[in-house]
Amino acid sequence: MSNPSLLILPGDGIGPEVMAEVRKIIDWFGAKRDLVFDVSEDLVGGAAYDAHGTPLHDDTMAKAQEVDAVLLGAVGGPKYDVLDFSVKPERGLLRLRKEMDLFANLRPAQCFDALADFSSLKTEVVSGLDIMIVRELTSGVYFGEPRGIFEEGNERVGINTQRYTESEIERVARASFELAMKRDKKLCSMEKANVMESGILWREVVTRVGADYPEVELSHMYADAGAMQLTRWPKQFDVIVTDNLFGDLLSDLAAMLTGSLGMLPSASLGAPMANGRPKAMYEPVHGSAPDIAGQGKANPIACILSFAMALRYSFDQGDEATRLEKAIEAVLADGYRTADLLGEEGRDPVSTSAMGDAIVAALDASL
């Protein structure tokens, strides 16, 4: 039986630095847990443009379609701002999402107890928080037609179209119910059925799919009310499913409940492949942070947690994913902090590499 395959795309800015720490974790699992991956590496974003004149080479796209999972660092940087829109680094990321048909974007918002003070909310509101937002990623207002800026009379008008088919709603709803079944069996669907026909259809389809999951407690909430409730008492939620636009907004809002973008992973999942595993790409939520690139200041935890999500959702290694998450929790509890996590004066941050080494040591201690 062949080893599971993983394509690593470090990308730009701090991407290569944080991905180097993930490589330490991957090597540890191979050496200490006999969990060996066939790892290949390639270019994406600005790095790919510098080498090939395109943010994603066709050969790289073909590799991404063949492997069990893709792990991406970050793309972009100010040196690429002058490029034509069609070849900007972000187009490489969007092409991966679109051509792999990664329709379900999983954005966890988890607050480690050691970092509860970093949230803008009261400690008791966020301590122990562990929710999952599932954002539909390949349709909705970001892709609907017609779209553009047009002349209308004596002025211009900007048009974007919110469009969803029943099948697009059904597949992300079903993925969300399946996820809820593996968690606390609670799912809240958020839309704007009070003012949008697409929201009415969304609610109808989610309700219909819910009949196949009688064990899951399904609720519906208008997305604006959902934003308010996320900041009032986020622990009332477990899994939230919503469309592309609202998911973009709500997941960023939930992200900041935890205190630092450097702590947040994500997964984008598609339809099952021949081996039964979903097509998948995992990436930290943070950007390429060119202002600190190459200085050893980046927090690698979000990228490492993205690999933990890959262990859980692509490789059926839930226990090992939990082992890695608990190692990170232990390191934070011991006081290790990269620069973005320093909330008090008089403490020296650990480097990107030192944080990775500490997590490896905590993994050793878990055996």
Based on the domain organization, do 75 and 171 belong to the same domain? no
Between CA 83 and CA 137 the distance in angstroms is: 25
Q: Which of 49, 248, 313, 340 is flagged as catalytic?
A: 248
User: Of the listed 113, 130, 252, 357, which one is catalytic?
Assistant: 252
Distance from CA of residue 148 to its chain's centroid? 28
Question: Rg for the chain (alpha carbons), in Å?
Answer: 21
CB atoms within 10 A of CB 355: 26
Q: Does residue 115 sit within a domain? A: no
Does residue 84 fall inside a structural domain?
yes
| Three-state SS at 208 | helix
Q: Are residues 232 and 251 in the same domain?
A: yes
In a shared domain, residues 162 and 70: no
Q: Is residue 123 part of a domain?
A: no
DSSP code of residue 165: -
What is the enclosing helix (H) or strand (E) of 7?
Answer: strand 5-11
Domain boundary among 257, 289, 316: 257
Phi-psi region of 211 (alpha: psi -120 to 50; beta: other; left: phi over 0): alpha
d(CA 237, CA 219): 10
Query: How many independent structural domains does the chain possess?
Result: 2
In a domain, 117, yes or no: no
Question: How many angstroms separate the CA atoms of 77 and 88, rounded?
Answer: 10
The pLDDT profile of the chain, 367 residues, written as one tens digit per residue, is 789 999 999 999 999 999 999 999 999 999 999 999 999 999 999 999 999 999 999 999 999 999 999 999 999 999 999 999 899 999 999 899 989 999 999 999 988 888 888 788 888 888 889 999 999 999 999 989 999 999 999 999 999 999 999 999 999 999 999 999 999 999 999 999 999 999 999 999 999 999 999 999 999 999 999 999 999 999 999 999 999 999 999 998 888 787 666 788 999 999 888 787 889 999 998 889 999 999 999 999 999 999 999 999 999 999 999 999 999 999 999 999 998 887 665 578 999 999 999 999 999 999 9
Residues flagged as binding site: 77-90, 97, 107, 135, 224, 248, 252, 287-299
- My answer on whether 267 and 168 are in the same domain is no
Torsion over CA: 280, 19, 77, 120 (sign): positive
Total-model pTM:
0.91
Q: Are residues 196 and 269 in the same domain?
A: no
The answer to whether residue 142 is catalytic is: yes
Compute CA distances 135 → 172, 260, 301, whole Å.
Answer: 8, 20, 22
Are 193 and 199 spatial neighbours (Cβ–Cβ below 8 Å)? Answer: yes
Q: Give DSSP secondary structure letters for 60-122.
A: HHHHHHHSSEEEEEE---GGGTTS-GGGSHHHHHHHHHHHTT--EEEEEEE--GGGGGGSSS-
* Euclidean distance between CA atoms 362 and 252, whole angstroms: 30
Helix-helix angle 244-257:223-232, to 10 degrees: 10
Q: Which of 68, 164, 192, 279 is catalytic?
A: 192
How far is 275 from 269, CA to CA, in rounded Å?
Answer: 15
The verdict on whether 224 is a catalytic residue reads: yes
Phi, psi of 232 (to 5 degrees): -80, -55
From CA 280, how far away is CA 310, in angstroms rounded? 8
pLDDT number for residue 346: 57
The angle at the Cα of 254, spanning 238 to 182, to the nearest 5 degrees, equals 25
Range of the domain at 319: 1-107+261-367
Residues 174 and 82 grouped into a single domain: no
Catalytic pick from 63, 142, 186, 357?
142
Domain boundary among 257, 273, 300: 257
* 179 domain residue, yes or no: yes
Report the helix count and the strand count for the chain, using DSSP H and E.
12, 12
Distance between CA 92 and CA 72 in Å, rounded? 11
Q: Which of 257, 274, 301 is the last residue of a domain?
A: 257
CA dist., res. 238 & res. 310, Å (int): 20
The CATH number of the domain where 93 resides is what?
3.40.718.10
Q: In this structure, are 244 and 284 located in the same domain?
A: no
Residue 252 among the catalytic residues:
yes
Label residue 284 exposed, middle or buried (CB < 10 Å: 0-12, 13-18, 19+): buried
Gap between the Cα atoms of 104 and 176, Å rounded: 8
Could you list the residues known to form a binding site for Mg(2+), using ranges. Answer: 224, 248, 252
Q: Are 80 and 74 in contact (CB under 8 A)?
A: no
Do 267 and 347 share a domain, yes or no? yes
- The confidence score (pLDDT) of residue 344 equals 60
Q: What is the pLDDT of residue 307?
A: 98
147 and 245 inside one domain: yes
**Token pair of 84, please?**
């034509």
310 & 223 share domain: no
User: On the CB side of 132, how many CA atoms lie within 13 Å of its CA?
Assistant: 22
Annotated binding-site residues for substrate read: 97, 107, 135, 224
Judge if 184 and 204 occupy the same domain. yes
Backbone angles phi, psi at 31, to 5 degrees: -80, -40
The separation between the first and the last C-alpha atoms of the chain, rounded to the nearest angstrom, is 26
Q: Is residue 83 part of a domain?
A: yes
Residue 216 maps to a domain: yes
Same domain, 266 and 199: no
